[in-house]
Amino acid sequence: MKDLFVHVRLFLVLGGLICLFMTAYLLPGMLPLAYMALAVFFVAVGLDTFLLFQQKKAGLQALRVLPDRFSNGDMNPVHIHIKSYYRFPLLVEVIDEVPHQFQWRDMKKRVRIGAGGEANMSYELRPVTRGEYEFGRLILLARSPIGMIILRNRYELATNIAVYPSYLQMQKYQLLAVSNRLTELGVKPIRRLGHTTEFEQIKEYVRGDDYRTINWKATARSSKLMVNQYMDERSQQIYCLIDKSRTMKMPFEGMSLLDYAINASLVLANIAMYKHDRSGLVTFANGIDHFLPASNQPRHMRNFQELLYRQETDFQESDYERLYAHISRRISHRSLLVLFTNFESQSAMRRQLPFLQRIAKQHLLIVVLFENTELKELLSTQPANTEEIYIKAVGEQFALDKKLIVKELAQYGIQSILTPPQNLTVNTINKYLEIKARALI
């Protein structure tokens, strides 16, 4: 659909003509000049209208190109392709009706298109919640070189797109894992302690290999340094336990702790499958919501991702007794359990400690806690009055409680990770690789 959109320049010129005619009545000698200016004005408007409406078909065609789905917490590209059939250049202003979740009300881009040419433009969107997002119309405001009026073209390109857990992070980590470049994302190289793994093959020595694995017989036969290569223990079970209680609703940089945990779980499960382990999932709040048995089948990651996509935060308290009973009944083999939760105080942790101890007796349990990064900014400020002193003291108590929770869990033999939300994925992978290197499961 296209219609006429009067440009503000037209009103300015028309206002100038009115002033000119008022002056002409005071100075009659300027009246011919006023008539001439009025004639030029109408000719310019008429010519501009003719140029923009001369096309029998649509003078502009536009297409919005979206990916199949968006990745939560990542920058997702949106591409717009514009084709012009006019015989003169245009200045086009693009207005895209982005989903209301982004609260972006002034999405405007300008692009110049040559005669009969094409133009491509793009922008990026970062969703912070999972679910369905709806794009609206695409509006193009075209202006000819004369620029007196604007032709508005509206394209009904309403589209729904689903925002899934961060599959872009999953693909990035997998790609770097295949090329042994995980250190670029902060994953620490882990030195293996001993060889509790199975022999795989003999290969030529390269810098960085453990010199203790040199095979001297093979070296003597080939006149090159040869080393034994060992294969990690495989088919170990890795379960992500995601707490969906009200404490996981807390937001950091727009995303809830639940979404951070979901993104990290997806990456960890994919890395575990790359290491030939089996990954599973348990989500819970006041009861067990979903249970996905550990597997390493090709379609398992798709099921894993679909299940994570449907998770929502529950505003009730978590029932760790039911979690312990469910794990005892459904997970029979010793497994690595990564529990994503958020104890805000020692008393909250101690209420659940008996159940955590029982779980840790049967499995290797890692409790992942979130560090409140906003407290760091508060603690770094200098208080100016009594109220700010009190607020800072409360903030210091919250920060201390987190550290005491980690220390107390360690006293009972439960490993933990205290991490900022933005570093959750890297720190979780580091812990998993450390456990694999130490052969703790």
Q: Quick check: 83 pLDDT over 90? A: yes
Q: If pLDDT is split at 50, 70 and 90, which confidence band does 159 have?
A: very high
- For residue range 129-138, what is the model confidence (pLDDT) as tens digits? 999 999 999 9
Clarify whether residues 65 and 144 are in a common domain: yes
Q: Which domain holds residue 213?
A: 198-231
pLDDT at 189: 61
Clarify whether residues 143 and 185 are in a common domain: no
In a domain, 381, yes or no: yes
Mean pLDDT to the nearest integer, 115-122: 91
Give how many domains the chain has, as a whole number: 3
Clarify whether residues 222 and 344 are in a common domain: no
**What is the Cα–Cα distance from 316 to 247, expressed in whole angstroms?**
9
Clarify whether residues 381 and 348 are in a common domain: yes
Q: If pLDDT is split at 50, 70 and 90, which confidence band does 161 have?
A: very high
If one counts every other C-beta atom within 10 angstroms of the C-beta of residue 236, the result is 22
CATH label of the domain that carries residue 179: 3.40.50.410
pLDDT at 356: 96
Q: Quick check: 25 pLDDT over 80? A: no
pLDDT at 37: 61
Q: Which of 121-125, 168-172, 186-190, 312-316 is predicted least confidently?
A: 186-190
Q: Which of 181-190, 261-270, 363-372 is predicted least confidently?
A: 181-190
**What is the Cα–Cα distance from 111 to 387, expressed in whole angstroms?**
52
Helix (H, G, I), strand (E, B) or coil at 66: coil
Q: Which of 136-140, 183-187, 423-427 is predicted least confidently?
A: 183-187
If one counts every other C-beta atom within 10 angstroms of the C-beta of residue 218, the result is 16
Q: Which of 109, 108, 127 is nearest to 67 (CA)?
A: 127
Contact 344, 370 (CB under 8 A): no
Clarify whether residues 159 and 252 are in a common domain: no
In a domain, 326, yes or no: yes
In a domain, 12, yes or no: no
Contact 258, 248 (CB under 8 A): yes
Clarify whether residues 332 and 217 are in a common domain: no
pTM of the model: 0.79
Could you tell me which residues come within 8 angstroms of residue 377 by beta carbon, excluding any fewer than 6 positions away? none
Clarify whether residues 184 and 77 are in a common domain: no
Q: If pLDDT is split at 50, 70 and 90, which confidence band does 31 have?
A: low
Clarify whether residues 268 and 409 are in a common domain: yes
| The one-letter amino acid at 54 | Q
Q: If pLDDT is split at 50, 70 and 90, which confidence band does 173 have?
A: confident
Q: Which of 326-330, 341-345, 364-368 is predicted least confidently?
A: 341-345
Strands 278-284 and 288-295: antiparallel
In a domain, 277, yes or no: yes
In a domain, 28, yes or no: no
**What is the Cα–Cα distance from 165 to 70, expressed in whole angstroms?**
8
Considering the chain, what percentage of its residues have pLDDT values greater than 90?
44
Mean pLDDT to the nearest integer, 55-62: 76
CA distances from 183 to 262, 322, 416 (A): 22, 39, 22
In a domain, 16, yes or no: no
| DSSP, res 180 | T
Q: Which of 113, 107, 106, 115 is nearest to 92 (CA)?
A: 113
> What mean pLDDT is reported for the chain?
83
Of the spans 171-175, 196-200, 402-406, which averages the highest pLDDT? 402-406
In a domain, 51, yes or no: no
pLDDT at 382: 81
CATH label of the domain that carries residue 107: 2.60.40.10
Q: Which of 175-189, 211-225, 274-288, 384-398 is predicted least confidently?
A: 175-189
197 versus 271: the higher-pLDDT residue is 271
pLDDT at 193: 47
Q: Which of 118-132, 208-222, 272-286, 339-353 is predicted least confidently?
A: 208-222
**What is the Cα–Cα distance from 437 to 173, expressed in whole angstroms?**
19
| The one-letter amino acid at 77 | P
Could you tell me which residues come within 8 angstroms of residue 61 by beta carbon, excluding any fewer than 6 positions away? 82, 83, 85
Q: DSSP letters along 121-160, please?
A: EEEEE---S-EEEEE--EEEEEE-SS-SEEEEEEE---EE
In a domain, 281, yes or no: yes
Clarify whether residues 137 and 82 are in a common domain: yes
Clarify whether residues 295 and 159 are in a common domain: no
Mean pLDDT to the nearest integer, 211-220: 81
Strands 118-125 and 149-155: unpaired
Beta bridge partners of 64: 80
Clarify whether residues 203 and 243 are in a common domain: no
Could you tell me which residues come within 8 angstroms of residue 4 by beta carbon, excluding any fewer than 6 positions away? 49, 149, 150, 151, 152
**What is the Cα–Cα distance from 267 to 170, expressed in whole angstroms?**
5
Backbone dihedral angles phi then psi of residue 360, each to the nearest 5 degrees: -70, -20
Beta bridge partners of 90: 113
Clarify whether residues 96 and 84 are in a common domain: yes
Q: Quick check: 381 pLDDT over 90? A: no
Q: Which of 78, 58, 59 is nearest to 67 (CA)?
A: 78
pLDDT at 121: 92
